[in-house]
Amino acid sequence: MNTNSNTYTVIYTTLVCVLVAAILAFVSQLLKPKQEANEKAETISQILTAAGFDEKAHWQEIGNAATIDFYKENLAEAYTVSAQGAQVKSLDKAKADIYSVSDLKVQNRAIKAGKDYEIPVYTFTNGVTVIPVYGAGLWGPVWGYLSFDASLDNIEGAYFDHESETPGLGGKIKDDPAFRAQFKGKNVNYADAKAFEIVKGGAPADKRNAIDAITGATMTSKGLDEAINNWLGAFKAYLQGRIQAKAAEAEAAAAAAAEAEAAETETQTAE
Amino acid sequence: MNQKMKETILNPILKGNPITVLVLGICSSLAVTVEMKGALVMALSVTLVTGLSSLICSLLRKTIPNRVRIIIQLVVVALMVILVDQLLKSFEGTYPIDKQLSVYIGLIITNCIVMGRIEAFALGNKPIPSLLDGLANGVGYGLILIIVAFFRELLGSGTLFGIPVLAKLGYVNNGLMILPPMALILIGCIIWVQRSIQKDLQEK
């Protein structure tokens, strides 16, 4: 047979492609549940790392099952919130329901388009609150988690991941512990033009809501900055609502204490 | 085993090593040799991919239309790489390594060793020698990868396979070893050593 004829070439190439596509589709379907379980455990370990429970390597060491158990034990509540800051629905704790990266992608599109969105919040029994962020880096999506302590005025920690940023440059958002360590003790300030900033050339020392960008990774740093600000904007109503509720609570407590004191002085005078 | 078989297996590991003699696959050898674990998984993946795609291409060699042979080879290589990647993603033990190697597993597709061996060997030889040639080239590549990773992890992080070795002796980690240029320097040293031993590799 003439293997160089056009008809043969076209038929041969088509057959090879169809066959390869079929094999890949079959394998992908076959392995999907396992891969999804791994991805879920990975996301949970990222949330736990951002919350400051332990370093990322620890979760790998103890394995998927133990990581998910730890998450269930220490989770106070996980729920989604709307643009108005209202709690929409609760995420099942027993099933360790979380928003996967692809869920975040869907919500990110809604946030950017100005449509209604539902984004997850994870609160832990030690008072830490974790929120996700998602955006575009240089080559692909970047995402991650920011955690706040009980006062919501201090960032407790952060963890970021990416799909295809350059290793050693943009990849540092994930691999460089020094970059992530910068987040601790910072805060989010909605009064500024940017609630949080990643500054190229170094953040001013007196600015609490800014950190240094990564050298050699301008576009990834910019992308992450945008991701953080977009999502902080989306969480604005929720976070401010909680801070106000906390302030009102503190005020009420102070008022109650003052009243109790006044009552005490009164009884003393009466005596 | 006859002489020719032996040659097929040993040549890519020593005299015709893909990294030190053919200088192929340098990109990934710089990127994945920070740790032994990553290097080992990469070495195994490349060995599997070169071996199996050489085998398949050799089986198909008489049917492949000459004008589109590169594309057909690429499809076969891509199939193998994606299968390896999918498998690595499916197991709990290998998932973190797959994540760590990230793009480099996918980039095995463009690793010159794979296509190079198919073009140079598999298309003109029977399936079994082609399989051996592919596997041997993968091993030759992996061997250099592991040697480089050994020095980089030991001197850069003071550990081997993540187990502290030098750290206990009060060794201060050398940050330069972690950076890609050091892999290039180490490969240079390996090429130097190899050429001093095998004099016939030296250019006049």
Among B123, B63, B73, B56, smallest CA distance to A2 is for B63
Alpha helices in chain A (DSSP H): 6-50, 56-74, 101-113, 172-175, 177-181, 218-234, 236-270
pLDDT of A271: 58
Q: What are A81's strand-pairing partners?
A: A87, A119
Per CB-CB distance under 8 Å, the chain A contacts of B75 are 16-17, 20
A38: nearest CB among B31, B67, B89:
B89
Considering only CA atoms, give the Rg of chain B: 18
What one-character-per-residue DSSP string does B175-204 give?
HHHHSHHHHHHHHHHHHHHHHHHSGGGS--
Dist CA A87 CA A118 (whole Å)? 9
**What's CA A68's distance to the chain center, in Å?**
17
Instruction: Determine, yes or no, domain membership for B95.
Output: yes
**Torsion sign, CA atoms B175, B176, B178, B179:** positive
Q: Per-residue pLDDT for B195 more than 80?
A: yes
Closest-CA distance of chain B to residue A34, Å: 5
Instruction: Determine, yes or no, domain membership for B152.
Output: yes
> Residue A107: which domain range?
73-258
pLDDT of A121: 94
Find the closest chain B residue to A18 by CA distance. B75
Instruction: Determine, yes or no, domain membership for B145.
Output: yes
Closest-CA distance of chain A to residue B15, Å: 32
Dist CA A2 CA A252 (whole Å)? 90
pLDDT of B129: 92
> Does B175 contact A at CB distance below 8 Å?
no
Complex ipTM value:
0.81
Q: How many domains does chain B have?
A: 1
Q: How many domains does chain A have?
A: 1
pLDDT of B102: 66
Find the closest chain B residue to A31 by CA distance. B90
> Does A24 contact B at CB distance below 8 Å?
yes
Dist CA A251 CA A113 (whole Å)? 38
* pTM of the complete model: 0.77
Q: Per-residue pLDDT for B200 more than 90?
A: no
pLDDT of A163: 85
pLDDT of A202: 87
pLDDT of A128: 94
Instruction: Determine, yes or no, domain membership for A29.
Output: no
Per CB-CB distance under 8 Å, the chain B contacts of A13 are 65, 68, 71-72
Closest-CA distance of chain A to residue B178, Å: 10
Closest-CA distance of chain B to residue A38, Å: 6
Asked if B79's CB is within 8 angstroms of A20's CB, the reply is: yes
Backbone φ and ψ of B16, nearest 5°: -120, 40
By the 8 A CB rule, do B178 and B157 touch? yes
Instruction: Determine, yes or no, domain membership for A244.
Output: yes
pLDDT of A18: 96
pLDDT of B1: 59
Instruction: Determine, yes or no, domain membership for A2.
Output: no
B102: nearest CB among A16, A41, A164:
A164
Find the closest chain A residue to B102 by CA distance. A164
B92: nearest CB among A23, A64, A171:
A64
Dist CA A142 CA B103 (whole Å)? 15
Q: What is the pLDDT of residues B152-183, one digit of tens each?
A: 988 888 888 878 888 778 788 887 888 888 89
> Residue B81: which domain range?
18-198
Instruction: Determine, yes or no, domain membership for A67.
Output: no
Instruction: Determine, yes or no, domain membership for A155.
Output: yes
Dist CA B26 CA B140 (whole Å)? 13
By the 8 A CB rule, do A128 and A150 touch? yes
B82: nearest CB among A24, A60, A168:
A24
Over its length of 271 residues, how does chain A's per-residue pLDDT go in tens digits? 687 889 999 999 999 999 999 999 999 999 999 999 999 999 999 999 999 999 888 998 888 899 999 999 999 999 999 998 888 889 888 888 899 999 999 999 999 998 999 999 999 999 999 999 999 999 899 999 999 998 888 999 999 999 878 777 888 898 888 899 999 999 999 988 899 999 998 888 888 899 999 988 899 999 999 999 999 999 999 999 998 888 888 888 888 888 888 877 777 766 5
Closest-CA distance of chain B to residue A123, Å: 26
Instruction: Determine, yes or no, domain membership for B2.
Output: no
Instruction: Determine, yes or no, domain membership for A231.
Output: yes
pLDDT of B164: 81
pLDDT of B45: 92
CA distances from A105 to A38, A42, A53, B63, B172 (A): 19, 17, 26, 44, 42
